[in-house]
A and B are shown apart, each in its own frame.
Chain A
Amino acid sequence: MKQDKQIKEFAKQLLKISLENGELSAERVDGVLKSLEKNPPRHHLATLKAYLKLVAREVAKSTAVISHAGAISPETATRIAAQLSSKYGRSIASVTREDPSLIAGLRVVVDCDVYDASIASSLATLETALS
């Protein structure tokens, strides 16, 4: 238990080093990984796993995953990313993914938040209401 806490604490410190102006820097992450490779800490694998989890969470915070059924123009994706950047007060990049299971519409995921404007979700709501 104590060991887990120490590993998490160390991973958090590594993440702090990986940030530049409050945002994750690929260059700094690369530097951290090289340093860890050179001087592996105790519980090397567990530390890397904890660090990976924190980095993934940080990436998710600054990425809007736009799932769509049908075509979506790059301008729309950029506009969504701009809107979300102003909402969250941090720079958010967009990634688009085609998902035919949505039937039509969009679903945008930023970290824990989901914005759903798809037909599939409307139908699921209808199903719940009728059951």
Chain B
Amino acid sequence: MSSVIEQIEQQIANLQTKTVASNTGKIVTVGDGVAKIDGLSEVMYNEMIEFPGETIGIALNLEEDEVGAVVLGEATHLREGDQVTCTGKLLSVPVGKGMLGRVVDALGRPVDGKGNIESDETYPVEKIAPGIIERKSVDQPLMTGIQAIDSMIPIGRGQRELIIGDRGTGKTTIAIDTIINQANINKVGLASGDPNFRPVYSIYVAVGQKNSNVARTLGVLEEKGALEYTIVVSAPAADSAANQYLAPYTGAAMGEWFMSNGMDALIVYDDLSKHAAAYRQMSLVLKRPSGREAYPGDVFYLHSRLLERSARVNEDNGNGSLTALPIIETLAGDLSAYIPTNVISITDGQIFLETDLFNQGIRPAVSVGLSVSRVGSAAQVKATKQVAGKIKLELAQFRELAAFAQFGSDLDARTKAQLDRGSRIVELFKQPAFNPIPIEQQVGVLWSMQNNYFDDIDVSQMVSASDALRDFLVSRKESLLTAIREKAKIDDDLAEQLKTAVDEWKASFA
């Protein structure tokens, strides 16, 4: 009780008795989450403005005789003639490690019912991305735990890798798998006490999704023990378009805080198609001129300024990184639509998921031909490079031959061997959802594939064979796996150990 009184006394003592100057305006019209305001002569672009009832908004249209602003949150209590005040501040959100394990809205306020967030630091939602001098090229890997991706489309810390595909092809699953894998790696790394270990913190931004989907994702993260390393920013479909527009920038601010403080972070934007649609809605209500597919002219800048904030900064600037995995949903596999082409051109590569592959049971349904990582190979672990160097080419040749082989019955022995090997690789890359595989196990399996240990195993038995090999390595050869993880390359000694281990497994499996 006395502390409350002390607090009040302190507040009264700090009370400003001098004149307070403010720049104000009056609401002319309000509707659809957008207010037109007369006055506010000194308002800045993107400035936070204050409406009655502690409601805030952002000034987005500065016109000659009025200001267009989006209202963040509930706008039903606002009336014509209500006073609006400039704050002189850009919108900021709370950041820091205190946010980990929490679910927040687009303004960084907790929505998980776990009480207040312990964070005394804020970060501007809109910020200019790090410049050229501050940056460094991508050279550290970020393992997704998905064999097909880590071996053929590797991702580096600070990279922007787009996940693109039709609805229901497993885009979110890949992103969640990656978050779970970071948590698994963090647990092992932090437990090892290695002073050079750099944990990766994750931020999952849900834009325009059903609350049930967000709840399911949260459930998975919690079940797999990944939530403690993750911040979830949620702007569900029921939120206003303004909140959906803002959520990715809020997430980026939280991730950028980790980067600017010398840490590594991963951010997933799920998804930017809905983000663009929310921005289109807002722009149309603000009466901005519309262009292709009714999107406003600056829809490219909307995504480029967001994704440019993901970077790897050099040692002079803390050596941190922010890796982005934006997600785009296509319609009937059309990659040439407006938003997909925009985001493809902004990012450093894409993972394309195909509906046909998904329906054939090939999951994750990664299309090898259309997926690419432009900068990730520089960051790929050497051991993976040694065992998976040729796999992408072999798989691409297999797809071509498989299509061709449908028309002929007589095939030469070489073609048959290629088809056989290809179908084994396809089976090998099948992986259940939310079960990322540690890189050392991936290396073990791929080494066995490269050295023809799977050649005499029936194609239908490939998945169980690779599972059995991994189980064998984990339960019987843990020291070998640790050696692969620590050395990160296969030298003669490791190759010999692998040969002995896989021979032993093969004898027991057969």
Contacts and interface: CB of A to CB of B under 8 A. Distances in A.
Interface of A: 8, 111-117, 121-122, 125-126, 128-130
Given A112-B39, A112-B42, A117 B20 contact: yes
Choose among A111, A112, A122, A126 the residue with the greatest number of B CB atoms under 10 Å from its CB. A112
B22 interface: yes
Nearest to B287: A1
Contacts of B41: 111-113
A126 B15 contact: yes
Contact of A129 (B11, B42, B65): B11
B128 interface: no
Across chains A and B, which 10 residue pairs bring their CB atoms closest together, nearest first?
A117-B19, A112-B39, A112-B41, A116-B20, A114-B22, A129-B11, A115-B19, A114-B24, A112-B23, A115-B21
B25 interface: yes
Contacts of B20: 115-117, 121, 125
B381 interface: no
Contact of A130 (B11, B22, B65): B11
Interface in B1-18: 7-8, 11-12, 15-18
Contacts of A122: 15-17
B54 interface: yes
B5 to A, nearest CB: 12
Contacts of B15: 122, 125-126
Given A128-B54, A130-B11, A112 B16 contact: no
A69 to B, nearest CB: 15
Contacts of A117: 17-20
A130 B25 contact: no
Contacts of B25: 112
B40 interface: yes
Contacts of A116: 19-22
Interface in B30-67: 39-42, 54, 65
Contacts of B54: 128
Given A122-B16, A125-B16, A130 B8 contact: yes
Contacts of B39: 111-112
B21 A113 contact: yes
B392 to A, nearest CB: 54
A129 B16 CA distance: 12
B318 to A, nearest CB: 34
B23 A113 contact: yes
Nearest to B83: A114
Contacts of A125: 15-16, 20
Nearest to B7: A130
B441 to A, nearest CB: 53
A54 to B, nearest CB: 8
Contacts of B18: 117
Given A117-B20, A128-B54, A112 B12 contact: no
B56 to A, nearest CB: 13
B65 A8 contact: yes
A55 B205 CA distance: 48
Given A113-B21, A113-B24, A125-B15, 9 more contacts: A111-B39, A112-B24, A113-B23, A115-B19, A115-B21, A116-B21, A117-B18, A122-B15, A130-B8
Contacts of B17: 117, 122
B67 to A, nearest CB: 10
Nearest to B22: A114
A50 to B, nearest CB: 9
Nearest to A128: B54
Contacts of A111: 39, 41
25 contacts: A8-B65, A111-B39, A111-B41, A112-B24, A112-B25, A112-B39, A112-B41, A113-B22, A113-B23, A113-B41, A114-B21, A114-B23, A115-B21, A116-B22, A117-B17, A117-B19, A117-B20, A122-B16, A122-B17, A125-B15, A125-B20, A126-B15, A129-B11, A130-B8, A130-B11
Nearest to A122: B15
Contacts of B8: 130
A113 B41 CA distance: 8
Given A8-B65, A117-B18, A125-B16, A112 B11 contact: no
B12 A126 contact: yes
Contacts of B22: 113-114, 116
Nearest to A60: B39
Contacts of B85: 114
A11 to B, nearest CB: 10
A82 B7 CA distance: 41
B23 to A, nearest CB: 5
Contacts of B24: 112-114
Contacts of B16: 122, 125
B65 to A, nearest CB: 7
B11 A126 contact: yes
Choose among B7, B40, B41 the residue with the greatest number of A CB atoms under 10 Å from its CB. B41
A130 B4 CA distance: 10
A55 B85 CA distance: 23
A127 B25 CA distance: 22
Contacts of A128: 54
Contacts of A115: 19-21
